[in-house]
């Protein structure tokens, strides 16, 4: 473990800019959004809570060209890789799903793998919780324990820093003059902040009666024919925001586009909440009704992924609660599923 002062941390980010496109969250209104850093490092937020947009956006782009004239090995982005600062624990857990789909499965996606190998993840402990955080119910601590290259724990004068990969270690060694040995008195201060945030998340969980993942086993099967799905889907406007914003959702759509010069294949994010997502040739649709698509979304998260990847595809980040214009609250749906509650 090492320590870096706030002033030296700015110098560190400036230095990183030579090899990476550095992004960190800044606050706009009540939300935090990633911003590309060049000269101005003053307004960045390392701590607080997760950014509004999920970190998956740096690893699978919302829209990208994946083949040019049907040649799959197109030269991709001459740009520098990303260094993403202030990534939170709930986003890191999302990689368990993203890696399963794009890296450790039947087909390994070369674009995703390249990004996973080259991008640098500088995560950070949460220093507060917001009303929608329920990570602890999904077994995620509000401070990273794995999945990062470097992790930062904010204390008054700077950051305690831990490396989690060879890549992270190499970066720290390269700029070793900016870092110093940890002072033992910082550890209890880090732990005090961690404890405070744990208590805040526990309070959210208690107030919203969010069930724990330990009792999720069989909740979809048990409620498969329940009216819960129709009742919960009543206000849904089929916007797909809940899936786009989710750090674990990964579905995509491939299409070919032709202009005067060439034919190219593109990939865009897709959403299983949209009517035509499952439509097949001939026009049949196995999930024609909106409630069926809502059920499918929960089925993937709480039945399919635990079976195939031994992990629930939800990290308790609460983004879908904030993003849903219909105010469909995943915590409430989970509570109903666990209780087998037929009434809204
Ligand atoms: S389902 Fe909702 S709370 Fe769970 S990881 Fe996705 S956006 Fe976050
Ligand atoms: S964000 Fe809400 S309204 Fe939009 S598709 Fe998801 S559940 Fe439906």
pLDDT of residue 157: 84
Name which residue sits closest to atom 2 of ligand 2, judged by CA: 324
Residue 205 C-alpha to ligand 2 middle, in angstroms?
22
Name which residue sits closest to atom 1 of ligand 1, judged by CA: 314
Q: From the alpha carbon of 94, which atom of ligand 1 is closest? A: 5
Residue 244 C-alpha to ligand 2 middle, in angstroms?
10
Name which residue sits closest to atom 7 of ligand 1, judged by CA: 246
pLDDT of residue 70: 65
For residue 151, what are the CA distances in angstroms to 131, 165, 323?
24, 10, 27
Ligand closest to the CA atom of residue 334: 1
Residue 142 C-alpha to ligand 2 middle, in angstroms?
26
pLDDT tens, residue by residue, 296-328: 999 999 999 999 999 999 999 999 999 999 999
Pocket test for ligand 1, best of 94, 247, 299, 312 (most atoms within 8 A of CB): 247
Domain parsing of the chain, residue ranges: 2-207, 213-339
Pocket test for ligand 2, best of 229, 230, 239 (most atoms within 8 A of CB): 239
- Kindly state the average pLDDT of the residues 218-242: 95
130: pLDDT strictly greater than 70 = yes
pLDDT tens, residue by residue, 268-297: 999 999 999 999 999 899 999 999 999 999
Residues 103 and 109: beta-carbon distance below 8 Å:
yes
143: pLDDT strictly greater than 90 = yes
* Reported pTM: 0.93
Pocket test for ligand 1, best of 57, 93, 239, 248 (most atoms within 8 A of CB): 248
Share the mean pLDDT of the chain: 93
Q: From the alpha carbon of 271, which atom of ligand 2 is closest? A: 5
Q: Among candidates 168, 7, 166, 157, which has minimal Cα distance to 85?
A: 168
pLDDT interval class at 233 (50, 70, 90): very high
pLDDT of residue 343: 57
pLDDT interval class at 135 (50, 70, 90): very high
Residues 338 and 208: beta-carbon distance below 8 Å:
no
């009517």: which residue's tokens?
A: 275
pLDDT of residue 1: 84
Name which residue sits closest to atom 6 of ligand 1, judged by CA: 246
- Kindly state the average pLDDT of the residues 247-269: 90
Pocket test for ligand 1, best of 319, 327, 333 (most atoms within 8 A of CB): 319
- Kindly state the average pLDDT of the residues 58-87: 82
222: pLDDT strictly greater than 70 = yes
Residue 335 C-alpha to ligand 1 middle, in angstroms?
15
pLDDT of residue 312: 97
pLDDT of residue 342: 61
Percent of the chain with pLDDT over 70: 96
Give me the sheet containing 158-163, strands edge to edge. 31-36, 21-28, 82-87, 120-124, 150-155, 158-163, 2-5, 180-181
Q: From the alpha carbon of 323, which atom of ligand 1 is closest? A: 7
Ligand closest to the CA atom of residue 242: 2
pLDDT of residue 77: 56
């Amino acid at each position: 473990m090492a320590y870096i002062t706030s002033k030296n941390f700015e110098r560190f980010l400036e230095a990183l800019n030579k090899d990476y496109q550095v992004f960190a969250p800044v606050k706009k209104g009540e939300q935090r959004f990633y911003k590309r850093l060049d000269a101005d490092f003053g307004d960045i937020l390392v701590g607080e809570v997760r950014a509004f947009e999920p970190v998956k956006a740096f690893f699978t782009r919302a829209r990208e060209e994946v083949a040019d004239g049907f040649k799959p090995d197109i030269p991709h982005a001459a740009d520098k890789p990303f260094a993403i600062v202030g990534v939170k624990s709930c986003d890191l857990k999302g990689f368990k799903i993203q890696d399963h789909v794009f890296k450790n499965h039947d087909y390994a996606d070369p674009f995703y793998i390249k990004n996973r190998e080259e991008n640098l993840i500088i995560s950070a402990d949460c220093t507060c919780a917001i009303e929608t955080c329920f990570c602890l119910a999904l077994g995620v601590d509000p401070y990273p324990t794995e999945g990062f290259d470097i992790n930062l724990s904010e204390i008054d004068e700077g950051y305690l820093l831990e490396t989690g990969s060879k890549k992270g270690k190499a970066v720290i060694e390269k700029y070793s003059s900016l870092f110093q040995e940890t002072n033992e008195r910082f550890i209890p201060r880090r732990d005090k902040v961690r404890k405070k945030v744990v208590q805040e998340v526990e309070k959210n969980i208690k107030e919203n009666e969010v069930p724990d993942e330990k009792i999720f086993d069989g909740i979809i099967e048990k409620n498969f024919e329940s009216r819960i799905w129709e009742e919960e889907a009543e206000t849904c406007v089929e916007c797909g925001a809940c899936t786009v914003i989710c750090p674990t959702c990964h579905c995509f759509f491939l299409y070919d586009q032709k202009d005067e010069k060439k034919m190219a294949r593109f990939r865009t994010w897709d959403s299983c909440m949209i009517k035509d997502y499952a439509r097949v040739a001939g026009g049949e649709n196995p999930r024609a009704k909106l409630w069926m698509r809502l059920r499918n979304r929960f089925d993937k998260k709480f039945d399919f992924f635990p079976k195939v990847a031994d992990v629930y595809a939800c990290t308790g980040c609460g983004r879908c609660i904030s993003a849903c214009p219909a105010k469909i609250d995943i915590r409430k749906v989970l509570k109903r599923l666990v209780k087998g509650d037929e009434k809204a």
